[in-house]
């Protein structure tokens, strides 16, 4: 049975989510929960190798989408699903919504094809059906397709791409995605908005243009309220 908590964090590059994920981890640790902090693409040795490729090598859009989902499959099987079965809290810096936003919105890759890949990769049960007995497989608290593994809660740091670009300008050497122009990120943002519209019950949108402390306060409130509502 899957009894853990799965929370993902999303937003365009420069939206500032990383700092706040650590804060949410502290919140759960203080409440005595075991926390698994992870990220996509990445989170396993194989997935981290795929991350190196997709973040730095130019490639065909279908190849890019397939590698994102390949990395995700490995991550789900090796890390996310076992943690949820143990009852841990999984905090994931990006998940499938990023593929819809970046490859779907940003690159203009076919939304329906991404949906087919999502179903293939996230169909429950994730592990070999003969090795797990999960009475809750097929029951998804978060809405959407009931038989897919999805985050229970997705915190979306929503930010105007022009502000994000200003924040990133001084930050670091950009990777393949970070070096995209502002209109790419406007399309990524629209991709996130479309995912929210498709699955509103698991999304919480935060105005990431606020000062960092205000964003942090929003994140804490959202997670606390959500846990409160979810409590039996
Ligand atoms: P990011 O999460 O921003 O990590 P860091 O803070 O270390 O730069 O980088 C991951 C990049 O990969 C980001 O630009 C979004 C992109 N990405 C996709 O294009 N599709 C996906 O499915 C995922 C998970 C990420």
Domains of the chain: 5-230 (3.40.50.300)
Structure tokens at 221: 């409130």
> In this predicted structure, what is the pLDDT of residue 138?
46
3-state secondary structure of 35: strand
CA of 191 to the centre of ligand 1 (A): 14
Return the residue whose CA atom lies nearest to atom 14 of ligand 1. 177
Q: Which atom of ligand 1 is nearest to the CA of 18?
A: 6
3-state secondary structure of 152: coil
Q: Which atom of ligand 1 is nearest to the CA of 96?
A: 22
Structure tokens at 107: 């690159």
Contacts of the segment 180-185: beta carbons below 8 A, 24+ positions apart: 180/106, 184/106, 185/12, 185/13, 185/106, 185/161
Inter-axis angle of helices 61-75 and 111-122, nearest 10: 20
Give pLDDT < 50 ranges for the chain: 135, 138-140
Neighbours of 160 (CB within 10 A): 17
Q: What is the pLDDT of residues 154-178, one digit of tens each?
A: 999 999 999 999 988 877 788 999 9
Question: Where does ligand 1 bind, in terms of residues with CB under 6 Å?
Answer: 13, 18, 40-41, 55, 68, 93-94, 98-99, 102-103, 177-178
CA of 82 to the centre of ligand 1 (A): 23
Structure tokens at 186: 């406007």
Q: What pTM was estimated for this model as a whole? A: 0.93
Integer Cα distance of 133 and 16 in angstroms: 39
Q: Which of 177, 180, 184, 195 to mutate to test the pocket of ligand 1 (most atoms within 8 A of CB)?
A: 177
Q: Kindly tell me the burial class for residue 60, based on how many C-beta atoms sit within 10 Å of its own C-beta (0-12, 13-18, 19 or more).
A: exposed
Q: What is the separation of C-alpha 218 from the centre of its chain, rounded to a whole number of angstroms?
A: 18
> In this predicted structure, what is the pLDDT of residue 139?
45
In the DSSP assignment, the letter for residue 208 is T
Return the residue whose CA atom lies nearest to atom 9 of ligand 1. 13
Q: Kindly tell me the burial class for residue 58, based on how many C-beta atoms sit within 10 Å of its own C-beta (0-12, 13-18, 19 or more).
A: exposed
Structure tokens at 217: 């306060």
């Amino acid at each position: 049975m899957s009894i853990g908590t799965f929370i993902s964090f999303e937003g365009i590059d420069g939206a500032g989510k990383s700092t706040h994920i650590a804060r949410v981890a502290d919140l759960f640790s203080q409440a005595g929960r075991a926390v698994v902090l992870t990220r996509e693409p990445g989170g396993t040795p194989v997935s981290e190798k795929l991350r190196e490729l997709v973040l730095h090598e130019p490639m065909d859009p279908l190849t890019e989408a397939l590698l994102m989902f390949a990395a995700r499959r490995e991550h789900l099987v090796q890390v996310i699903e076992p943690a949820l079965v143990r009852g841990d809290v999984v905090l994931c810096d990006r998940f499938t919504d990023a593929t819809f936003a970046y490859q779907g919105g940003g690159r203009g890759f076919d939304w329906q094809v991404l949906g087919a890949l999502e179903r293939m990769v996230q169909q429950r049960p994730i592990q070999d059906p003969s090795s797990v007995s999960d009475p809750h497989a097929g029951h998804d608290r978060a809405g959407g397709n009931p038989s897919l593994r999805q985050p229970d809660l997705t915190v979306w740091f929503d930010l105007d791409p022009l502000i994000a670009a200003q924040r990133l300008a001084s930050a670091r050497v950009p990777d393949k995605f970070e070096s995209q122009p502002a209109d790419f990120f406007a399309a990524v943002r629209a991709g996130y908005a479309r995912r929210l519209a498709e699955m509103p019950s698991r999304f919480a949108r935060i105005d990431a243009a606020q000062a960092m402390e205000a964003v942090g306060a929003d994140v804490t409130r959202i997670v606390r309220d959500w846990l409160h509502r979810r409590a039996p």
